[in-house]
Structure 1
Amino acid sequence: MDESGFLSIEDISVGYGSTPVLKGLDLSIRKGEFVALLGASGCGKTTLLRTIAGFAKPSSGSIRVDGRDVTTMPPDRRGMALVFQSYALWPHMTVAQNIGYGLKLRGLPRADIARRVEDLQGLLGLSGLGQRKPGALSGGQRQRVALGRALAVDPAILLLDEPLSNLDARIRLKVRHDITALQKRLGITAVHVTHDREEAMVMADRIVIMDAGTIAQQGTPEEVFNRPASPFVAAFMGAENVVALHGSVKGGKVAIEASAINAPAVLPLEGRSLIGGAFEARFRSEGVELIAHDAPPLAEDALDLIGHVEAASYPGGAWRHSVRVGDDILLADAAEPHAQGQVVRIRIPARNLFIFDFPGRIAPPSQSSPNPMGAVRVAEESHA
């Protein structure tokens, strides 16, 4: 068996009526890997999960598990288990009966079912709750029962369809830790659908970001967060501040021209393919310094934007400022509040700044080493 392609999805296309949803999508998942499908509503992530599970039929392509073609197999023959967003527990059954339901359908002896259910209740922190019914449980407990029912049949692949979205914030933090710890302990392969960026970051070994039925980028949480491949990915990963810049590319550097909203800057190119001219730059509010307007500029490795504070609030951890820069309102965090109307500089270190060719422009092939992620980020990679 080639563990690099334990779950192999090749050229999968799926549509509803005349509307295409997945468009020739390819994805390979290793045995024991936890992969998060991340994206906004309508991007195709749930359709992909349902197609893997066998509840949606592809119009083309194939799905293989451990080399076995399961594309046309019914869901119950694929060796997978699906945990639903709504738990989907039988309300008239006890915890033990819900967990053991799949084993009962398989005709296992009662004694074997009882042992398996007892083991799973202990593993999931449900000991002593076996005779309760779902209505007498908390949301977190009900989700663990649903997880136990899925694990009871010993699936090769565990599919999770936004299983935490119905939980309150405090319980959600606990349950997502429980799921990842259990997945690592059992060594099971897991595919998790979510629209929550933080949830994907803390749970997954690899994040697959989807957009309009295709994969926009995939990689480790650190890769997609620090080296986004496109403006879409950068924005989805929190870099929602955006400004238009002009400059030139020469000798491994990007020279940003001064304008009414920014000081000149020289930033490292690091082998990325950019065209000189118009750029789109993105950054996160927490990745900047907010400094006085008369602070001395840095010659290299940072970009200074010039604006004035319109408002400041305290969401926790830092003061968040709305800063008008030209015609745009940008968000910038600082340890201390700045007064309304104060002229300031937003200083963005190169490692926190993502620069892309302005939409519609195509960069020439790079003369240096290719970037395997396809990113055109101008940044210093941190190896700390």
Structure 2
Amino acid sequence: MRARWSAITTFSFSVSDLQAIQAAELYTLLLASTRGQPDYVLFNSHDLGKEAEGEGYPQGARDIGDETSFNAGLYDPVDSRYVDMEVFDVLSLLRKGDNTVTFQRGRDLDGDGEIATIGELVEGEDYLHPVLVLLTLEKRRTTASGPDLVLERIEVQDSYEGENASIILNIRNMGAFPATHAEVEVRIDDALLATRQVAIDRSGIQQVSIPWKPQPGSYTIRARVDIQGDVDSSNNRKEKEIVVGTFPDLAVSLEEPYRPGTAVQQGDPVIQILIIGAALPLASLLFSRRRPHRGDKMLSVLACALILITVMPPPVALISPATGQDTSALSLLPVTVTNLGGSDASSFQLSVYLDGERVIKKEYPAGLKAGLSERSELPLFTSPGSHALRVVIDEEKRVKDADRSNNMAEATYVFS
């Protein structure tokens, strides 16, 4: 078989400060991986893991999803079907700012524009589902002698021409509880918009909202938070680029779905039991194989997430049909969402309906910038025959959309 998908999924982590970080580990969880079919995980464009060993692999190929968990070098390997969990040491690759994790289901090694999954030169997986990626950082312990404010992110709501927008700052205190107020400053490009005196909550989490009435154009929002005695001021600033114009105009389009490979029993409880049965011992292994005094709390969270995410994968939530005992096969449904409007769109959701029943939910937490498109290939299980597909974006009307007539695309396809 030759797969035609782009074969790439990416995630990003923002690291505001590298000082005193003594360990950085990346946790990944894959479903539906196959031993003998290469796949890759990259951190900041560097291949992770070891070169694949055994007959049939191209030179230099990796097979991260090889049905063997914990074989990246930090722990003793363990055979695992249906799930594959790995832990990578990425300290030497860590950088300040955005750090990108890329999952590649294969690589076109012979340059023919396709990724072969069978034959003499196997270049990639039929199907691979990354369901968890987690970056943990460990800093050297120090006694907190004062507050340590971190400006985590800037969110902008209703930033459209003629509208009253809100700039929302999310602040976290990683140090001691402060005795004084913090000073918050927001600038649009270099022009001062507002300052605020803010009392930091004892929970250590504070949100500040600044009103803004923008004019059309491109802007860089710059924000900072300062407080007396801050033990680390390097993480007190953040900026965000936005485009303001007419309302966003989200449009969605479909391409014909295609079969990547393996048939499964959709809705079959045996499959779910096997997956959960594999997840539970893997969760236990996180504790039995962990290094002493390293990230105990984080591993506890990870173990719980591993069990839950195995049942309900977060990147794309698949909803099992009420009747699902017929033999079904996996298809990939290419969907493209485009923002045709004059402003960036805030977060929204996409839903896929199969014969009138919603079967997929996909979140776009970062929204979509004006003029850009995002193409996804969504896993879809169907029985053979003719099925009606309908894709809808922003059903909840979170975005002030200029034209909702293009928020839906529908078609009928015959599945073999």
**Larger Rg: 1 or 2?**
1
- Whichever structure has more strand as a proportion of its residues is 2
TM, length-normalised to structure 1 = 0.23
TM, length-normalised to structure 2 = 0.22
